[in-house]
A and B are shown apart, each in its own frame.
Chain A
C-alpha cells in the first residue's frame, strides 16, 4: 500500500490569503487526486493532478482558485487561493494503486479560514 504524507495537517488562515498543501507519496504513482470534505459532508473531487500537464478540474472548481502542481510522480501541491470562510474544509490527497485495485488517502489538511 502507498504511504501518503500531507503537510500541513491543519492551519488557521486569514481570509484573503492563500495556503499551499503538499502531498508526498512513498512510491511513484500515475494518478493523484485532490478532494475536499466540508464539515459533516462526504468527499468531493476537486481535480486530477496530472504529471507534466495541467490538472483536470471537476465542475465547480477552477484553476484560479485551486491551482495544482505535479512536478513528478511522487509529489503534488494544492493551493487554496484568496480564501474565505466557505473554504474551511478538510483537503485530502489520494492516489490510486497499481491496476486500480486500491485508492489511498492522506490524513488530510484541516483548514479553518477566519
Chain B
C-alpha cells in the first residue's frame, strides 16, 4: 500500500536556526514527490517536485532532496514568515497525490 509519513509532526525553531523536515514514503512506481506549504485557511501552495533519487531543488531558504526512500526539506536560517504547515505528497499512477500528515513549523523571532 502506498504510504507517506512525515516527521516531526511539529517543529519549533528560533529565527535563524536551520533544520530539516523528513518525508518517508513507500509507493509502487513513484512518478514524483511534491512539497507544499499550507497557511491556515488556505489551499496548499506548490513548492517543488522531485522525480529521481539524488535530485535537489532550491527556492529561497528552502532546499528539497530525494532518495529512494525519503525526502528532506531543509530550511536554512528560517524567518517567522516561514511558519506554516509543510506537506509532502507522492504521485503514483493516474496523477493522484497521496499526502503525509504534514509538519507544522513555527519560527519565533
Contact = CB atoms under 8 A, between A and B. Distances in A.
Answer whether A and B are interacting partners: yes
Nearest to A2: B46
Given A100-B32, A102-B49, A33 B43 contact: no
B41 A45 contact: no
B85 to A, nearest CB: 9
Chain A contact residues, majority secondary structure:
strand
Contacts of B102: 42
Given A42-B102, A100-B31, A100-B32, A105 B44 contact: yes
B59 to A, nearest CB: 13
Given A45-B96, A45-B98, A56-B94, 15 more contacts: A31-B94, A41-B101, A42-B102, A43-B44, A43-B97, A43-B99, A58-B96, A100-B31, A102-B46, A103-B34, A103-B49, A103-B91, A103-B97, A105-B46, A106-B43
Interface in A69-114: 92, 94, 96, 100-108, 110
Most buried by B among A45, A92, A106, A110: A45
Contacts of A56: 94
Interface string B9-47: 000000000000000000000011010100001111110
Interface of B: 31-32, 34, 36, 41-46, 49, 87, 89, 91, 94-102
A78 to B, nearest CB: 14
B19 to A, nearest CB: 21
Given A100-B32, A100-B91, A42 B42 contact: no
B95 A31 contact: yes
Chain A interface extent, by class = 20 to 34
A103 B36 CA distance: 10
Contacts of B98: 45
Contacts of B94: 31, 48, 56
B95 A48 contact: yes
Contacts of A31: 94-95
A25 to B, nearest CB: 13
